[in-house]
Amino acid sequence: MLLIYAIRIFFGLLFLFIIVVGIFLLYLNINDFNPAAHETLKPTTQAYQRQVPPSFRLISWNIGYGGLGKSMDFFYDGGKRVRAGKEQSEEWLHGITAWIAQNSDADFLLLQEVDFDAKRSYHKNQLAQIAQVLPNHEYVKAVNYQVSFVPVPLREPMGAVKAGMASFSAYQSLAATRHTYPQIVGWPDRLFLLDRCFIESRFATTDKKELVILNTHNSAFIDDPIKMNFELKRIQEKMLLEYSLGNYVIAGGDWNMNPPAFAPEVHFGGHRFVPSAVAFPQDFFPADWTFCFDNKTPSNRFLDEAYNKGITGSTTIDFFVLSPNVQLTNVETIDLNFSASDHNPVVLAVVLKH
C-alpha cells in the first residue's frame, strides 16, 4: 500500500513538472522575439558631417557585454561561471568605454554584444554609456538577443536578456536597416539563443556614390559549415548586389569563423593559436574581393578558463571584407590581452578608389 502511494506521488510530481515546463515553453514561444526580415533603423542622434571622404578608419569590436574580461570563464564555452561580479563587470565596462574614448577619432565603430538591459550585466544600459564618449557620432542599434528568461544553467539561470549590436558613425547616414539571418538552430533551442542579424548603414561619398557598411555577428557554437553558409549567403547576396550597383561595400564584425586559409604568424604575439570550428569558404567571394585581418594578433580567446597568455586558446574571427573598389591601407588587431572582453578590437584603414 505504501509503495502504491509513493508511486502515485512520484507520477503526480512528474505530471506537475511536465505541466510547468510545458507552460514555461508555451510562454516563451508566445513571447519569442521574432523580428522582421528587414527592419528600418533610425539613428538616435545625427552626425554633423554629410559626406564620407576617400580615406577613413573603422573599428570593429565585440565587447562581450562587459562581462567576459580576462579573469572570466564561461559555462557556454566549457567554463563554470555564469556572470562576473558587479564590481568586476563595471570595471571591464569602464575599460571598454575608456578605450573607445581614446579612439573616438575613428570614423566608424561597429560593436557586437552590447547589453541594453540584462541580468548578466546588472541591467546596465551599456549603449548609453558608450554613446556618452562619442558625442560627435550618430548611432543605430539592432536587437539580436531578447529572451524573457534564459533557464540555463539550472543552478544559476542567466535570466532576462536584451542585447544586440550598434553601429556608430561620424557621418550622417542616408538609411540603416536590420537584416535578419536565417534560423539555423531548431526548436526549442532557438527560444533561448540569439536571433542573428547584420546592420546595413548607407552613406554619401564625395564622388556621389554610396558607401555601404555592414556590421555582422554570425552564429557561434555551430560546427556545421553547411549551416553557417546559410548565413553567409544572406550577407554575400547583399554585398554583391551593392557592388553591382556601383557602391563601395565594407563588411566587418564577429564572423565566428577564421578567414579563408588563415595561418597565424609563428609567434602570434605570444598567444596560443587554436583554429575555429569552421573557416570562411575560400571561394565564397570573387578573387578581387579583399579579406582584411591581422595574423600577428588574435582577435578572440576561448572562455573555458580565465585567460592565461600562451596557454589559453585564442584565434582570429573578427575581420573585414572589402569590395574591389575599396583599397586596404592597414589593418591591425589591438592586443589588449583580452583585459576587458574576450575579443580584441580590430582597426581598419581604407581608401575608396574613385
Return the pLDDT at 152: 85
- Least confidently predicted of 20-29, 107-116, 153-162: 20-29
What's the domain range around 199? 36-352
Buried residues in 185-216 as b, exposed as e (16+ CB within 10 A): beeeebbbbbbbbbbbbebbbeeebbbbbbbb
Query: Which residue would you say has higher pLDDT here, 272 or 15?
Result: 272
Question: Going by C-beta distance under 8 Å and a sequence separation of 6 or more, which residues neighbour residue 313?
Answer: 272, 273, 274, 301, 302, 304
Question: Going by C-beta distance under 8 Å and a sequence separation of 6 or more, which residues neighbour residue 33?
Answer: 143, 146, 147, 195
Same domain, 136 and 165: yes
Count Cα neighbours of 40 within 13 Å in the Cβ-side half-sphere.
Answer: 4
Give the pLDDT mean for 193-207.
94
Look at the chain and report how many structural domains it folds into: 2
Helix, strand, or coil (residue 305): coil
Mean pLDDT of the chain: 92
Give the pLDDT mean for 302-324.
98
Give the pLDDT mean for 306-310.
98
Same domain, 127 and 8: no
> Other C-beta atoms within 10 Å of 262: how many?
19
Return the pLDDT at 318: 98
Same domain, 205 and 243: yes
Give the pLDDT mean for 66-71.
98
C-alpha–C-alpha distance, residues 324 and 290, integer Å: 7
Sign of the C-alpha dihedral computed for residues 59, 104, 334 and 68 taken in this order: negative
Return the pLDDT at 191: 56
Return the pLDDT at 76: 86
C-alpha–C-alpha distance, residues 60 and 108, integer Å: 8
Alpha helix stretches (DSSP H) within 210-340: 225-244
Predicted TM-score (pTM) of the model is 0.93
Same domain, 162 and 305: yes
Give the pLDDT mean for 331-350.
98
Same domain, 3 and 149: no
Same domain, 26 and 69: no
Same domain, 274 and 163: yes
C-alpha–C-alpha distance, residues 251 and 60, integer Å: 10
C-alpha–C-alpha distance, residues 42 and 173, integer Å: 9
Share of the chain above pLDDT 90, in %: 80
C-alpha–C-alpha distance, residues 134 and 292, integer Å: 25
Query: Which residue would you say has higher pLDDT here, 13 or 178?
Result: 178
Say which residue the cell 561620424 belongs to. 170
Q: Are 109 and 58 in contact (CB under 8 A)?
A: yes
Give the pLDDT mean for 85-101.
98
Same domain, 18 and 158: no
Same domain, 101 and 78: yes
Q: Are 331 and 294 in contact (CB under 8 A)?
A: yes
User: What's the CATH code of the domain at 125?
Assistant: 3.60.10.10
Same domain, 334 and 244: yes
Same domain, 19 and 105: no
Q: How confident is the model at residue 45 (pLDDT cuts 50, 70, 90)?
A: confident
Would the pLDDT of 30 be above 70? no
Return the pLDDT at 46: 87
pLDDT digits (tens, 9 = 90+) for 156-199: 999 999 999 999 999 999 999 999 999 877 655 655 578 999 99
Give the pLDDT mean for 35-56.
94
Would the pLDDT of 16 be above 90? no
Return the pLDDT at 259: 97
Return the pLDDT at 24: 47
Return the pLDDT at 293: 98
Helix (DSSP H) and strand (DSSP E) numbers for the chain: 4, 17
Same domain, 1 and 53: no
